[in-house]
Amino acid sequence: MSLNYKISGLNGSSSKMRKVKEPARGCNSVLNWKRLLFFVTKIEVTGTCKDNKSLVLVEQFNVSNELLHELASSFYKSDQITALKCTKQLGDKLSTKHEITCSLNGVTNVELSGQCPVHDDKAPLVHEKLAREHDNGILKVCMWVLFVIALCSPISCLWKNRKGEMKKKEHTQSSSRSAGKWMKKLLVLFVLVGVTVSIWLFWYLNDGIQLRRRETIANMCDERARMLQDQFNVSMNHVHALAILVSTFYHGNQPPAIDQKTFGEYTERTSFERPLTSGVAYALRVRHSEREKFEKEHGWTIKKMDTEDQDQTLAQDCDPANLDPSPIQDEYAPVILSQETVSHIVSIDMMSGKEDRENILRARASGKGVLTSPFKLLKSNHLGVVLTFAVYNTHLHQDATPEQRINATVGYLGASYDVPSLVEKLLHQLASKQTIVVNVYDTTNASAAINMYGPEEIDTGFLHISSLDFGDPSRKHEMRCRFKQRPPPPWTAILASGGVLIITFLLGHIFYAAINRIAAVEHDYRKMMELKHRAEAADVAKSQFLATVSHEIRTPMNGVLGMLQMLMDTNLDAKQLDFAQTAHASGKDLIKLINEVLDQAKIESGRLELEAVPFELRTILDNVVSLLSTKSQEKGIELAVYVSNQLPEVVVGDPGRFRQIITNLVENSLKFTHDRGHIFVSVHLADEVTDENYMKIFNGSKSNAVCNTLSGLPVVDRKKSWENFENLSRKDINESEQIKILVTVEDTGVGIPIKAQSSIFTPFMQADSSTSRTYGGTGIGLSISKRLVGLMNGEIGFVSEPGTGSTFSFTAVFMKKETCSLDTVLQQYHPDTSEFRGLRALVIDQKNIRAEVTRYHLERMGISVTIISDFDSAQSSQSPIDSAVFAMVLIDQEVWDKKSGLAFLRGLKSSTKLFLLANSVSPAIQDEIQSANMVATVVPKPLRLSILISCFQEIISVGNTSFLARRKPSTLGTLLRNKRILVVDDNIVNRRVAEGALKKYGAIVICVDSGKAALEKLKPPHSFHACFMDLQMPEMDGFEATRQIRRLESMVNEQIESGEVSIEMFGNAGHWHTPILAMTADVIQATDEECMKCGMDGYVSKPFEEEQLYSAAACFFESD
């Protein structure tokens, strides 16, 4: 709404408001000629130029309209030009953009800023054109000088070379002449390329200079536009708050708590909060039926806004008494409250002006502030705008309809803004950066933009336009910025291109000698690349062959091992069972070898990828120990595992490959360690190895002629196994998300000969030629382990001394994982240890490392551990009170001494349980313990969590309550009972193997031999609970069969959800999804991913064990 009467005819031809002037033209004509030369093949012509006014492009290149269109049409015919753009972009967001009109758009999207219309006033343009032509002349002279020098130099060289050739002897061989001509041609080409590069460099550097100027003006303009918009928004918020104040105290109280005097004093005192406003006023909404009553209450007549007399409007002493009454209309908006500076507008009807009426209607319908078009303010005679807010008599939600807002409207609050003063204040804050000229325009009417602030626009180079958003979407404003001064000539580009030209001529002198060398090198390089490609092709072929052969072998091996397993489940005598077990073990060894060869092939062909799943480090190590415990007990080797308590319970990585590395290393140690000694696996954080406590426990120092090791035998210095690691610390990883561990496998075996240590990680290589015969093996395990460690972003190393032993160490990087999200998963595999928490145990062992291993396993169960070295120490520190504290005593067999041991046992209370840790217990020791009326339970080594829990649950009692057999009843083998499972395989042997394995767990198995048959069987409704699907089958493979099954299930589920069919028609199943698991002999990662994509729920690899089939299917069924 207007508080200071707007001038009539402001948008007319006689208006003093400044319109948008002609666009900025480039200050550097070289830039324009460059664009015409390089981008004419990509020119785009769109839009029209109106009013017979010249194009900026016409003035840029000094050609007429007719010539330009002829040029465009000729290029169009040759498909080299598409359009000449003549557009104008009006942005309504604050972003760095260029207003483009009549511009050249090339492959680099370089655009000229400006506007299509050019005003008829030609006088200023003539002077500008003359100035540009002067600058263009200087640059043209420089370019021609460079070009002439570039042409003269190769011509001079050619002339000298020709004179030299004429002096040569006539008996020069034709091959030499050909070589000389080739050299001369290449020399000329090189010089021409150098000249071209120098010219290109000039344009490139000049482009960079122009780009930096564009960025500079864009940043400066955007900064000013952003500050102007922020200041306006702050002031607008204060006006909005004043509207809320009026709604609360004028309409919310009866009688109103605000009158003209109060409003005037308040607005004057708070005017500092609205420094950008020249005045605020409040107009009440009065309907025609209420007009007479309203005028009687206020004692004055509603006046009509007079906008016809411009002089009267501009008068500062405008008297409302001289105005005519407002004509009859549906409703009125007379001003009843106003700031003292605009008190003369009281009683004037703001609805009597056409534009004010439209603004008021928009404000009350939208609930937002609306702006008027620019008009001249009183006193300052500056251009300004009026912001109008509707005042409501009730609180409205944001999603209120326009009708609700109109009905709730009781008045209108308006404030006038002095835009030039606002911009001047803004620019005054940035006075130190005033290197540009700023204009603010109202571009609501794109064809007649109004210059609200700024001088007449003068062409000084680039123009940047930043959009302004003052909160009214119907009004559009923008800020246009130019540099105050024209840019200087691009001396940097001139000097740089000249320097390149000089360097080109200097290099031409040595080109003849260099070309011979280059030709020789290129010949050698081509030969080397050919050999390289041949070697790579042979390597890939070998890897593919190995992978294919391994795949084809695994399929029949599945039948061999499966049938042997089924044979062993029949009634065989001892001899027959031994034969079957031997054949089964040999088959497993063959599968292991095939897996190793396949891994090597996948590594060499780059197809081996690691999984990223959560797993428990300690569980993996326990599994490895369980797997190899029998072999270590047979050889009498002590096998132990220790994991630092600083490692998290769960990490994310590939558990299978991690287990494979440790298994390879431990199996190597078992193979090369004789019937004494030990194998010790320890896992720590990579940073722990520098800790003093670590070195104190694991340094293997000697004490009383006995080495501080697991078996007491000397070992190598484990520190040397990782001293050559480049990234041992965690500085190369993200510590918040990743963890780096160090795994060490120590043994007391025969060691590795010095001469063989350099090739220990080479595939199919072993220490010496007799190793394969003496110890067995293929020599591929360590090679695969090294590759797998590399895939885990780790390093592997070793130290070995013949006759002492070896120590292998490797690092691996895993992702961290919170254990809380995996509690339900871990409970399925972990026995309950809650009954042991809080108990205390006494460990008697003379070897510190072995005692620490025992402590590690007991603390995993929540048992507090005290360690002493011998019985004498126990008797000196043990008292009857202390003996009652310990619920158990664990004694290593090596520490047992009859005399001191029996004395110690007699001091124990009957409630204390005794455990003996040993690989194999001597009957004599048990007899000696029984003589003291004690029973010692033997805990077989190697120690692991499952063994300790089993032994403790059978013996320990708490108070008078025994918890024998408190472990959770196992559900192994019962989850598949009476479950209908479909087996799909075209190989009858594989079907029989899978059928026999699943029937052992009580499943009802149906077999089919094709994908089409499986599709018929699994069409809803059906009674199958799961399906094992082979992948490679004739007619329809497993992938396609699964896709069609999932498609059928999806259609049925949609019909059930939409109510098209009843649930009873489909066996009362509301959602159909049959678990489908792939049976494949192809264990490549890509195959696994394809299984998941087509809708399968998992896979088992051939040859499969009975437990694999059970585990794969059982996870989809809940235990009772």
Region 1057-1079: mean pLDDT is: 84
pLDDT bin (cut points 50, 70, 90) of residue 49 is: very low
Distance CA 674, CA 667 (A): 13
Distance CA 800, CA 143 (A): 73
CA angle 425/377/481 to nearest 5° reads 40
Q: How many CB atoms are closer than 10 A to CB 399?
A: 6
Higher pLDDT, 1065 or 966: 1065
pLDDT bin (cut points 50, 70, 90) of residue 1084 is: low
The structure tokens listed for 587 are 């088959």
pLDDT bin (cut points 50, 70, 90) of residue 57 is: very low
Share of the chain above pLDDT 90, in %: 15
Structure confidence at residue 139 (pLDDT): 59
Residues whose CB is less than 8 angstroms from the CB of residue 664 and which lie 6 or more positions away in sequence, other chains included? 781, 782, 784, 785
Structure confidence at residue 465 (pLDDT): 92
Distance CA 957, CA 960 (A): 7
Q: What is the pLDDT of residues 257-284, one digit of tens each?
A: 888 888 888 888 888 877 778 789 999 9
Q: What is the pLDDT of residues 875-887, one digit of tens each?
A: 665 444 465 578 8
CA angle 175/177/181 to nearest 5° reads 120
Region 670-695: mean pLDDT is: 83
Please answer whether residues 279 and 370 qualify as being in contact, where contact means their C-beta atoms are separated by less than 8 angstroms: no
Percent helix, strand, coil in the chain, to 5, is 50, 15, 35
Please answer whether residues 886 and 842 qualify as being in contact, where contact means their C-beta atoms are separated by less than 8 angstroms: yes
Strand locations in 373-499 (E): 375-376, 383-392, 409-418, 436-442, 450-453, 463-468, 477-483
**Residue-wise burial string across 620-646, b where 16 or more C-beta atoms lie within 10 A, e elsewhere:** bbbbbbeebbeebbebebbbbbbbbee
Residue 423: C-alpha distances to residues 18, 270, 414 (Å): 16, 22, 21
Q: What is the mean pLDDT of the chain?
A: 75
Distance CA 977, CA 969 (A): 16
Outline where 719-777 has alpha helix (H).
Answer: 771-774
Radius of gyration of the chain (CA): 46
Strand pairing partners for 1080? 1101
Please answer whether residues 45 and 85 qualify as being in contact, where contact means their C-beta atoms are separated by less than 8 angstroms: yes
Structure confidence at residue 317 (pLDDT): 47
**Residue-wise burial string across 431-452, b where 16 or more C-beta atoms lie within 10 A, e elsewhere:** eeeeebbbbbbbbbeeeebbbb
Look at residue 819 and tell me whether its pLDDT is greater than 90: no
Residues whose CB is less than 8 angstroms from the CB of residue 165 and which lie 6 or more positions away in sequence, other chains included? 180
Give kind and range of the element (H or E) at residue 1100: strand 1098-1101
Q: What is the pLDDT of residues 196-209, one digit of tens each?
A: 899 999 999 999 98
Q: What is the pLDDT of residues 590-630, one digit of tens each?
A: 887 777 777 777 777 676 778 888 889 999 999 899 888 88
Distance CA 959, CA 789 (A): 50
Please answer whether residues 733 and 786 qualify as being in contact, where contact means their C-beta atoms are separated by less than 8 angstroms: no
Q: What is the pLDDT of residues 428-462, one digit of tens each?
A: 777 555 688 889 998 988 888 888 888 887 877 78
pTM of the model: 0.50
Residues whose CB is less than 8 angstroms from the CB of residue 580 and which lie 6 or more positions away in sequence, other chains included? 564, 567, 568, 572
Residue 408: C-alpha distances to residues 251, 399, 401, 605, 1093 (Å): 12, 14, 11, 76, 58
Distance CA 992, CA 994 (A): 6
Tell me if residue 168 falls in helix, strand or coil. coil
Q: What is the pLDDT of residues 400-413, one digit of tens each?
A: 898 989 988 999 99
Output the 3-class SS for 636-684. CCEEEEEECCCCCCEEEECHHHHHHHHHHHHHHHHHHCCCCCEEEEEEE
Strands 796-801 and 702-703: unpaired
Please answer whether residues 811 and 684 qualify as being in contact, where contact means their C-beta atoms are separated by less than 8 angstroms: no
Distance CA 867, CA 891 (A): 10
